[in-house]
Amino acid sequence: MAILTESEPFHIIQHPIKKEIKLASPVLKWAGGKTQLLPQLRERYSPKLRQGTLTTYIEPFVGGGAVFFDIVNSFDIQKAYLFDTNPELIILYKVIQQDVESLIKELLKLSNTYL
């Protein structure tokens, strides 16, 4: 079960990683996003990730989540703690955790209406 807590100035998602979410990717473009930097960042990942001895991931500023999704998809992460100061962003991740089907329906309505 995922737990969302609000603790000023951070909003926190604690989430045991489910293997069926493998190959997930960032859900939005984010100012300062790291997707294009992932090849360089991967070179700096802890060797403990490759060894499988580091199984908890803590992200202080999740933003679009590029580094989080890359690490979760590449290594055996059992637990993740995602932090951010943007409450709207945390609400988005909470909705994705708890009711992704409703979110998809609403996004399809918006897409059909405006695109």
Torsion of CA 44, 65, 77, 101, to 10 degrees: -160
- Residue 22: pLDDT above 80? no
Task: Name the pTM for this structure.
Answer: 0.73
Question: What pLDDT band is residue 2 in, cutting at 50, 70 and 90?
Answer: very low
Q: Which of 63, 67, 76 lies closest to 42, judged by CA?
A: 67
Burial of residue 27 (number of CB atoms within 10 Å: 0-12, 13-18, 19+): middle
Is residue 26 a contact partner of residue 35, using CB atoms and an 8 Å limit? Answer: yes
Residues 23, 10: Cα–Cα separation, whole Å: 27
The count of structural domains within the chain is 1
Res 3: pLDDT: 44
Res 46: pLDDT: 96
Range of the domain at 44: 3-114
